[in-house]
């Protein structure tokens, strides 16, 4: 007797229909999410603009270009630059080509110009004048060496390093050579009191000091030095004068 062929069970048919329904729902959900995302992007892009390139532009022109794009310029810092002139834009944030929210800030960095300066001449000036000139040029006073000079007045600046006209970094120090004036040899006064006048005069001659003589009545100390000015131990310039008083 032939076997009867059974059709799909009710449970199987229900499962198939359920899976088809779930698949359709998932497809519809994915389509809805995609549509929502696209719509959101469209809405968001309506409020976004492309950031223009302003690096190298003068600050006023850069600000005008940024405002024209619907954004707000703001200078946040200044920095030295060897290639971009003072007052021009050296950098920007966000970078050019970035999509930014309408009305948002574009931060700008401006050039302070080069930090390389020409060293001014301070020769012939006094030390306070030289310090002021260097400060106005953006440089600092360095070490000072002092020497005697028969040519340059006392306290005048003779030379400098780096030399005038050379290039130095802003804030660098400049060393100076200052005049102490003409060289004057100094000797120490010996004690001439009680010495014979001739002996005292010979001693002063050896020291290259000029003697001026006055006399005072003194029988007991006749021919000897009674007093002197400057006093013993004093410092006297070579070629200077010394007053001695001799008894007679």
Residue spans per domain, the chain? 48-111, 117-179, 186-247
pTM of the predicted model as reported, rounded to 2 decimal places = 0.47
* 117-179 matches 186-247 in fold: yes
What is the distance between the alpha carbons of residues 125 and 141, in angstroms, rounded to a whole number? 14
Q: How confident is residue 34, by pLDDT bands cut at 50, 70 and 90? A: confident
Q: Which CATH class is domain 117-179?
A: alpha beta
What is the distance between the alpha carbons of residues 51 and 108, in angstroms, rounded to a whole number? 12
Give pLDDT, residue 3: 52
215 vs 47 pLDDT, higher one: 215
Other CB atoms within 10 Å distance of the CB of residue 152:
20
Residues 189-209 as b or e (16 or more Cβ within 10 Å = b): bbebbebebeebbeebeebeb
Q: Which CATH class is domain 186-247?
A: alpha beta
CATH number belonging to the domain at 48-111, selected among 3.60.90.10, 3.30.1050.10, 3.40.605.10, 3.30.10.20: 3.30.10.20
Q: How confident is residue 4, by pLDDT bands cut at 50, 70 and 90? A: very low
Q: Are 237 and 184 in contact (CB under 8 A)?
A: yes
Residues 197-226 have pLDDT tens digits of: 999 999 999 988 899 999 999 878 899 999
């Amino acid at each position: 007797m032939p076997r009867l062929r059974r059709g799909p069970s009710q449970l199987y048919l229900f499962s198939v229909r359920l899976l088809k329904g779930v698949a359709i729902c998932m497809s519809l959900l994915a389509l809805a999410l995609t549509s929502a995302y696209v719509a959101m992007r469209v809405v968001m892009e309506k409020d976004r603009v492309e950031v223009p390139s302003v690096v190298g532009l003068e600050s006023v022109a850069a600000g005008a270009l940024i405002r024209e794009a619907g954004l707000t310029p703001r200078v946040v810092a200044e920095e030295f630059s060897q290639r971009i002139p003072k007052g021009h834009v050296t950098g920007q944030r966000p970078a050019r080509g970035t999509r930014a929210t309408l009305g948002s800030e574009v931060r700008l960095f401006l050039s302070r110009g080069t930090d390389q300066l020409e060293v001014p001449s301070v020769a012939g000036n006094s030390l306070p004048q030289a310090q002021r000139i260097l400060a106005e040029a953006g440089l600092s006073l360095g070490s000072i060496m002092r020497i005697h000079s028969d040519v340059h007045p006392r306290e005048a600046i003779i030379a400098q390093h780096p030399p005038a006209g050379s290039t130095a970094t802003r804030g660098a120090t400049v060393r100076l050579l200052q005049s102490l004036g003409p060289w004057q040899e100094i000797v120490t006064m010996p004690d001439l009191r009680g010495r014979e006048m001739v002996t005292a005069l010979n001693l002063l001659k050896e020291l290259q000091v000029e003697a001026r003589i006055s006399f005072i009545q003194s029988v007991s100390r006749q021919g000897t030095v009674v007093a002197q000015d400057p006093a013993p131990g004093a410092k006297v310039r070579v070629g200077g004068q010394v007053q001695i008083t001799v008894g007679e």
